[in-house]
Structure 1
Amino acid sequence: RLTLRAIILVAFFLTALSKIFLLPFILIDDIRRGLIWIRNKSFTKKSADPEQKAESETISRSDFIIKAGMAAAAIPLASLTYGIVSGAYDYQVNRRKLYLPNLPKAFDGITIGQISDIHSGSFYNKTAVSGGVEMLLAEKPDAIFFTGDIVNSLASEIKDYQDIFSKVKAPLGVFSTLGNHDYGDYYFGKEPSAAKSRNLAEIKNIHKNLNWDLLLNENRRLKVDGEEIAVIGIENWGAGRFLKYGRMELAVKGTDDAPVKLLLSHDPSHWRAQVLTDYPQIDVMFSGHTHGMQFGVITPNFQWSPIEYIYKEWAGFYREKHQQLYVNVGYGFLGYPGRVGILPEITIFELKRG
């Protein structure tokens, strides 16, 4: 269920947003009233009747403007409420073909599932979360990638959901990495501490208990019929203010002979800031992190979210020359306990030669 803190935050957010939408209409009405007052003071009134008529018109127009403002304020309020009731757990399976010119023949048609940003500390509907996992497993992917943020901050958050995510299995394995929230920086602070170290150790152990292969600046080989491709996992590395725990030079070590190199890196800003410039051997990077801001529009031919003013790559496929990036908009949610337009995502990639 929703925590008291979440309820208070949502109530505050919805109230503030509604007032923001209403404020311009109130301001317009105040300006209009001021101009009318100045006009009436500037000209001699010939009789009481015209003044009374003007005042009546003023009240009528003011009433219209305020009602229009209230209607405008109701739109985001209704949308965000709907996003909580209907959008938070409305999991969408997105099937994508992933073309790789150097893909070994044995991997042609192999499928990989991706989920990201579970944020288990935000969940309040265990049945719905379980339903999303069943949707993933129903696709029967050959391998599964999880690209970070299993919790909001604390390892204890996933306690009630560990039994659900322990069902996430695949024939070729489940490979995971850490996201910025997994390190506890937002709870314990950025400075090292014993409590922070214990929390991170517990989170790493959770991946182990789930039988997920947590890649911490290291790599593995996927093997099919005697052929191999590399799966590389890096600790969180984000451009700008985010701490850079990742070490790509360690993560790629020993992968030179792999014909295809797939990178798991939580933050998509890592792709443009380092991967494109320094690691041209990476064929595809799989990311999450942005959530699509949990608000926006995604259609086959158009997508928009406020997050695009922060992240150049924030949802779906991107390509620069021979290198590709896919940004999953996340399985869970953070802060606002809902989603409007940008629904929780389960991605299924089919590897294809070409």
Structure 2
Amino acid sequence: MFRWILFIVIFLVADFYAFQAFRTVTKNNILHILYWLITLSVLGNFVYQFYGFSRSDGFSHTHGYAVGALIAVMVPFIFLVGMMFLEDVFRVPQAIYRYFTVGEAAKGDYFASRRQFISKLALGIAAIPFASIVYGIIKGRYNYKVLKYTMYYEDLPEAFDGYKLTQISDIHSGSFDDIDKVEYAVDLINEQASDVILFTGDMVNNKAEELLPYKSVFGKLKAKDGLYSILGNHDYGDYVNWPSGAAKKQNLENLKTIQKEIGFNMLLNDTKFLEKNGERIALVGVENWGVGGFKQAGDLKKAARNVQANDFKILMSHDPTHWEKQVVQDDYHYHLTLSGHTHGMQFGIEIPGWFRWSPSKWRYKHWAGIYENKGQFINVNRGFGYLAFPGRVGIWPEITVIELKKGIAPA
């Protein structure tokens, strides 16, 4: 209760402080009332949705939109409050000085004009993240991007020179609310005409039933050498308050069954050899393994029990911390690891080839894209779906296409 009271008090104080900029720019009382109706409605809805909320009860679309609306309001608040506070840091000492050194008329004119200028500037700057977040909720979460990479390996079997794989990750089907947009993305995946499609975990948020409305949609996925999948931390149902252990176990079995009906071959600490012209590559799939309190069911040794040291190896492991903590140090050389999990935190700034930033980097060393260590590579997919915040800002949903080439990468 105390945390809720503290949160509401801080929100209202920040809201009132930010309102000063709005009130300086416009004297229209109708707009003032509208301002408070919007912000108080956002706050009230958030409190209503989450007071007494337990993650084990499930996260609905209404919860997601409550989070999205709060973020859309609070991020501009931060900009507004920050700029107004900085102005006051300079303004208050100057006000004291001018009180004793200039006349009343000059004091009034000076501060009124200066406050109005800063208020307009602060509102203009705050409008940028506000518009970005609104766009991210309305359009960004379905703004699918196909990212293509060419990976060179001297020891790639000759038969697999030019072999293409498509990776998708973190579908989180329970978050979707527009089946047409998901169908578009599935068509986009099929258009890549890859040899194999690999899904690296988190098919649902919590329950297998979330996937049922999209079963026929994902059932359209096609690849010559098949579809393969692994489990992510959300797929086990660990975040649900199940009536019994048996119910939780049955949910996982149901998810496995639905995935198989879609056409996925699940690799649960196991290996599938992809063969071509008498040569092969090992496709190794582990169950979830991650640091930071996440399930560690992945068993790399068990998964690779039938793999030879000289096999070319592609590893599917949901959490990129597994690569950092175990895979790179393993006796076997894993040429390419495919992960997801981070979502790139669904927020950031990316200028391809120039700049990439997301708050995700503060938690994950490897949070998006290609990384290399000891001659081994990992691709961290930014995710196909979204979770909690019902949007994406700057970090768009990703379909990864990787072409394997034999030889040395050009300089």
Using the size of structure 2 for normalisation, the TM-score is 0.80
Report if the CA contact (8 A) 1:329-1:344 is conserved. Answer: yes
Counterpart for residue 16 of structure 1: 74
After superposition, residues 90-129 of structure 1 pair within 5 angstroms as 90-129=143-182
Distance 1:202 1:279, change over 3 A: farther
After superposition, residues 331-342 of structure 1 pair within 5 angstroms as 331-342=384-395
Distance 2:142 2:373 in 1: 33
Partner of 1:106, secondary structure, is helix
* Aligned residue identity for 1:211: G
* Aligned residue identity for 1:133: V
Match of 2:128 among 75, 91, 98: 75
User: Displacement of 1:63 after TM fit?
Assistant: 2.0
Greater shift after overlay, 61-70 or 211-220? 61-70
* Aligned residue identity for 1:15: V
Report if the CA contact (8 A) 1:298-1:341 is conserved. Answer: no
Which one has a larger percent helix, Structure 1 or Structure 2?
2
Distance 2:225 2:343 in 1: 27
Counterpart for residue 325 of structure 2: 273
Report if the CA contact (8 A) 2:168-2:384 is conserved. Answer: yes
Partner of 2:139, secondary structure, is helix
Greater shift after overlay, 293-302 or 115-124? 293-302
Report if the CA contact (8 A) 2:231-2:318 is conserved. Answer: yes
Counterpart for residue 278 of structure 2: 226
After superposition, residues 141-152 of structure 1 pair within 5 angstroms as 141-152=194-205
Could you say which structure has the greater relative contact order, defined with CA pairs below 8 angstroms and 6 or more residues apart? Answer: 1
Report if the CA contact (8 A) 2:168-2:400 is conserved. Answer: yes
Unaligned runs of 5+ in 1: none
* Aligned residue identity for 1:282: Y
Report if the CA contact (8 A) 2:170-2:203 is conserved. Answer: yes
Distance 2:64 2:363 in 1: 25
* Aligned residue identity for 2:261: N
Using the size of structure 1 for normalisation, the TM-score is 0.92
Equivalenced residue count is: 347
Greater shift after overlay, 111-120 or 250-259? 250-259
Distance 2:82 2:401 in 1: 44
Deviation sequence 1:63-98 (CA, Å, 0-9, x none): 222222222221110011112223221212222112
Match of 1:138 among 167, 182, 191: 191
Deviation sequence 1:132-171 (CA, Å, 0-9, x none): 1111111111111000011111111111111111111212
Distance 1:203 1:181 in 2: 11
Match of 1:236 among 263, 288, 292: 288
Counterpart for residue 179 of structure 1: 232
Q: Structure 1 runs of 4+ off > 4 angstroms?
A: none
Match of 1:199 among 251, 254, 272: 251
Counterpart for residue 256 of structure 1: 308
Report if the CA contact (8 A) 1:103-1:259 is conserved. Answer: no
Counterpart for residue 27 of structure 1: 85
Report if the CA contact (8 A) 1:298-1:304 is conserved. Answer: no
After superposition, residues 249-328 of structure 1 pair within 5 angstroms as 249-256=301-308, 259-296=311-348, 297-328=350-381
Distance 1:264 1:251 in 2: 10
Distance 1:5 1:254 in 2: 45
* Aligned residue identity for 1:97: T
* Aligned residue identity for 1:237: W
User: Displacement of 1:131 after TM fit?
Assistant: 0.7
Counterpart for residue 268 of structure 2: 216
Report if the CA contact (8 A) 1:116-1:329 is conserved. Answer: yes
**Residues 1:59 and 2:59 aligned together:** no
Deviation sequence 1:239-286 (CA, Å, 0-9, x none): 232221111111111101552011000111111111111244211100
* Aligned residue identity for 2:142: Y
Greater shift after overlay, 224-233 or 85-94? 85-94
Q: Identical aligned pairs, as a percentage?
A: 43
